[in-house]
Amino acid sequence: MKAILIVGDGMADRPLAELNSKTPLEAATKPSLNLLAEKGVCGIMDVIAPGIPPGSDVAHLALLGYDAEKVYSGRGAFEAIGFGVEVLPNDVAFRCNFATVDSKLKVIDRRAGRIATIDAARLAEEFKEVTLQGHEDVQIIFQNTIQHRAILLLRGVHLSTMVSGSDPYKVGKKVLEVRPLDGAAEAEKTAQILNELTYYFHEVLKSHPLNIEREMAGLLPANIVLCRGAGKLPDLAPLPLQYGITAVAISAMPLVKGVCKAAGMKLINVSGATGTYDTNVLAKANAAIKALRSYDFVFVHVKAPDIASHDGRVDEKVRMIEKIDQLVEYITRNVDLSKTYIAVTADHTTSSYTKEHEGDPVPVVIYGPEVRTDDIEEFTERSCARGGLGRIRGKDLLPILMNLLGKTKKFGA
Ligand code: ZN
Ligand code: ZN
């Protein structure tokens, strides 16, 4: 037996006025998702707990069966390993942005005019081998990722994640001084390093030839790097060891890839999987089918429904759900359904009205040879609430799937 879990990021929603009080899932044409609901068992799921809006990082920890409230230690390290940057157990990782500030260090644009990746890479070259005077024992690893985004790792002894960030999050605000968040010398030292580094970033970048070229072309200079979200890589029991399975993930998003990698899963990169509206879902479906030949558990993530909700683009959200339906159709047509469980869910609700993650439960369906089918015929937030799975928590889903695969151990004698 094998299992495939398909996650539409932020796919669940609330009833929307522009859809006549339907949710995007209710408004979308999605025969294949409905077929799974009809022939499978449905339910709703509090990914973390009722009423708690999860970030995509903790949500994916939960979907992979972990107790996110216990193991979560910040987002930076996941993004780093998801991007292919090696993170050692004691490294302190930050998420960073190239940004634009004025001469008084007030933020003009937190994304440096959404600087192109190729330009950000040229600037990042300057920070390949930085050492700060007085902190020669700390290795500084800086890597740009996509557009204005970057990762910073501090590697060395006596460092701490208990520090604030330099990013004020708002235009017009001054770059923040990084502060220790506890009384330990480690936090003091880490904050000091980060403050010196912020100054160093600005000094190097403000006169960088590329930024002078950018200003001459009427573009915003990327003249500072802002840091936030100090974290470490959590020590997760790998899924292959916990359940005796082989597991692989297909996602375009560094954060999700990072969580999956931290869970001991292999990663498959699919060309055409972009993490945006134009992502090639059939290429993902095809990769999933191929992966099922050699892996017991295949995780497929589609990012764009969440982007549509954050953008308030209801039409795009409906269209993305219809694309996920095509992905499901391709998979159901091409796998041996007598030997495969197919589960579909969302990692959280994202309201296209509030444009934020919300704490409402998400629908979930499990289709496969031995599930106890129920009367539900539609894969939507409201109909799944009456399904046979009832209301579960995010961290329950993987054990339920693993039990169907015959991979869970008996509790007790
Ligand atoms: Zn998400
Ligand atoms: Zn989101």
pLDDT of residue 118: 95
> Measured in angstroms, how far is the CA atom of residue 306 from the centroid of ligand 1?
6
Q: Is the pLDDT of residue 73 over 90?
A: no
> Computed from CA positions of residues 47, 266, 258, 89, in that sequence, does the dihedral angle turn out positive or negative?
positive
> Measured in angstroms, how far is the CA atom of residue 409 from the centroid of ligand 2?
35
Place of tokens 């599930």: 371
pLDDT of residue 276: 84
For the CA of 301, the nearest ligand? 1
| pLDDT (mean) for 336-365 | 98
pLDDT of residue 74: 85
Please, what's the largest Cα pairwise distance for the chain? 74
Q: Is the pTM of this model over 0.85?
A: yes
Residues 405, 337, 251, CA angle at the centre, nearest 5°? Answer: 70
What is the token pair recorded at 364? Answer: 């979930």
> Measured in angstroms, how far is the CA atom of residue 54 from the centroid of ligand 1?
8
Q: Is 178 left (phi over 0), alpha (psi -120 to 50) or beta?
A: beta
Q: Where are the alpha helices (DSSP H) in 144-253?
A: 185-206, 209-216, 239-243
Q: Is the pLDDT of residue 275 over 90?
A: no
Q: Is the pLDDT of residue 391 over 90?
A: yes
Residues 78, 45, 41, CA angle at the centre, nearest 5°? Answer: 120
Separation CA 241–CA 257 (nearest Å) = 19
pLDDT of residue 129: 86
pLDDT of residue 232: 93
Separation CA 321–CA 11 (nearest Å) = 7
pLDDT of residue 343: 98
pLDDT of residue 274: 84
> Measured in angstroms, how far is the CA atom of residue 60 from the centroid of ligand 1?
8
Catalogue all structural domains in the chain, each as residue range(s) with its CATH number. 2-72+236-404 (3.40.720.10), 81-231 (no CATH)
Measuring CA to CA, how many Å separate 345 from each of 276, 371, 381?
Answer: 19, 16, 10
Regarding beta strands 340-346 and 2-8, do their DSSP bridges make them parallel or antiparallel, or are they unpaired? parallel
> Measured in angstroms, how far is the CA atom of residue 275 from the centroid of ligand 1?
12
Return the C-alpha torsion angle 166, 170, 172, 178, nearest 10.
-10
Q: Count Cα neighbours of 19 within 13 Å in the Cβ-side half-sphere.
A: 22
* Per-residue pLDDT reduced to its tens digit, 43-59: 999 999 999 999 999 99
Measuring CA to CA, how many Å separate 30 from each of 174, 347, 386?
Answer: 48, 19, 19
> Measured in angstroms, how far is the CA atom of residue 320 from the centroid of ligand 2?
15
Reference 78, options 59, 97, 51; nearest CA is 59
> Measured in angstroms, how far is the CA atom of residue 51 from the centroid of ligand 2?
16
- Ion ligand 2 — residues with CB < 5 Å: 306
Separation CA 119–CA 215 (nearest Å) = 13
> Measured in angstroms, how far is the CA atom of residue 321 from the centroid of ligand 1?
14
Q: What share of the chain is helix, strand, coil (3-state, %, to 5)?
A: 35, 20, 45
* Per-residue pLDDT reduced to its tens digit, 99-133: 999 999 999 999 999 899 999 999 999 999 899 99
